[in-house]
Structure 1
């Protein structure tokens, strides 16, 4: 069977854990078998911005249940196939963007077979809470740092200077949390951000962010994903109905249905350096056990 000529249909943005699919292609990859299907409920990791890890899950075929060890974004131009290390931008003409499901190399999966995917529900919920908390914390951080800008800067979804979007170096979503690293480099300072005395005020910064997050969680701000299509590369937007404003952030991950579902969100900061450049790290943690039932 030829390489798939259309992007994979993904159902995880609407919260689906299961999907029935047809196998379009299989290929060996790094000691595993990469399985490509017309649709999937498994969230893959995107190596271009690998913030949210892949779902854990299973693939069922012919009465057998196979572990999905990983899921990554792949791309093909109809002749070459690139798994994980994709050489072109999403949406590039002539390319299809796919989800590669990695199973055991000897797995009995053949092209044309009907299979069912099921993502691990507990891991999905915890990663979704962590991703939602990450977005909310980034907005609260921008608000807390707004008075450190001496020049006009690009604004975030709520109209504050977008420190998160401008300074972000890496972001990693974890079960019920996230870790974000921001480079306080010369270009940021030239843009008007003043980091003077920040190291001595990290506890105050955390308290400010926590207070904003507490208000938003108490309001049980609703969260939804808006999408323009069902395919992997179709634009998706995280929308949170915060008190007095609706925040919109482009995002391809999975999320909780409300901030109230998170129970509580707390952040902590550390200021270190990387090759002589100051790096601010924000660790965000969710206390889902305190959520209202």
Structure 2
């Protein structure tokens, strides 16, 4: 299969509908994968699979999954998801959005329609996830004995230093942080954290209320329209403008969240901190 360049994507700007030309097809297990020149669909990222794929329809057929594909220059085979041997954006590869259906999609120009309600709920969960991470950094700032890189608001960046997994949900998220020896060597004090969780949660939720009430602008900055573009999430919070690398979808203002509540829990052995974020 000859693919001329990476897929053009419209989801960073909030696009949920598009007409585009089919440029290729590839088997995805026992299902059918369709590649178009331009798409509004957000695929699951094989490198950091935090936000689930968009669902919807293509040419009237149900899109049951949407995954990242890649094809090396000069090679015909399209690799899918975990079979891709390089990180997204690696040179010498075209990066593709693959729309998965039960039946084959006809050739020619097709209409792509994203499930807008599901997209909105995932966007809310992703925006809330970033805000909760910033609030968590601020609430844990006093537990650092050494200097580490700061987040956009000047707090020690616990989130980026300790995170092991993040999962965006419809209207929320779950983030897991490792509290191991490596983090302690970097200067984090984990002793007494269990007893401090109620106060830490109160601080986080107070900040979230303040930021939502501020009706802060949220936007995605992208250097280009290709799937490979390294996009950045921005939020103009009262404490300053924050920028976080992010390939997901988002709301446009913090007030759209309505309300956000965070809970924290420690794993049974105390080695992990889990943050649950719920919108509304």
TM normalised by structure 2 equals 0.96
Q: What is the rounded CA distance, in whole Å, between the counterparts of 2:36 and 2:242 in structure 1?
A: 34
Aligned length: 277
Q: What is the rounded CA distance, in whole Å, between the counterparts of 2:136 and 2:105 in structure 1?
A: 49
Cα RMSD of the aligned pairs, angstroms, is 1.1
CA drift of 1:204 comes to 1.1
Match of 1:226 in 2: 221
After TM superposition, the structure 1 stretch with the greater mean CA deviation from structure 2, 77-86 or 47-56, is 77-86
CA drift of 1:25 comes to 0.7
From 251, 256, 274, the equivalent of 1:281 is: 274
Tell me if the contact between 2:61 and 2:105 (Cα under 8 Å) persists in the aligned partners. Answer: no
Q: What is the rounded CA distance, in whole Å, between the counterparts of 1:147 and 1:226 in structure 2?
A: 32
Structure 2 residue matching 1:246: 3-state secondary structure: strand
Tell me if the contact between 2:153 and 2:239 (Cα under 8 Å) persists in the aligned partners. Answer: no
CA drift of 1:5 comes to 2.8
Tell me if the contact between 1:183 and 1:277 (Cα under 8 Å) persists in the aligned partners. Answer: no
CA drift of 1:93 comes to 1.9
Q: What is the rounded CA distance, in whole Å, between the counterparts of 1:159 and 1:122 in structure 2?
A: 35
- 5 Å-filtered alignment, 1:167-178, equals 167-178=162-173
CA drift of 1:108 comes to 4.1
Match of 1:90 in 2: 88
Where in structure 2 are there 5+ consecutive unaligned residues? none
- CA deviation profile, 1:227-278 (whole Å, cap 9, x unmatched): 10000011111000001300100100000111100011110011005xx661
Match of 1:31 in 2: 30
Moved over 3 A (4+): none
Tell me if the contact between 1:185 and 1:277 (Cα under 8 Å) persists in the aligned partners. Answer: no
Tell me if the contact between 1:134 and 1:177 (Cα under 8 Å) persists in the aligned partners. Answer: yes
- 5 Å-filtered alignment, 1:107-146, equals 107-110=104-107, 113-146=108-141
CA drift of 1:28 comes to 1.5
Q: What is the rounded CA distance, in whole Å, between the counterparts of 1:162 and 1:176 in structure 2?
A: 24
Q: What is the rounded CA distance, in whole Å, between the counterparts of 1:183 and 1:91 in structure 2?
A: 28
TM normalised by structure 1 equals 0.92
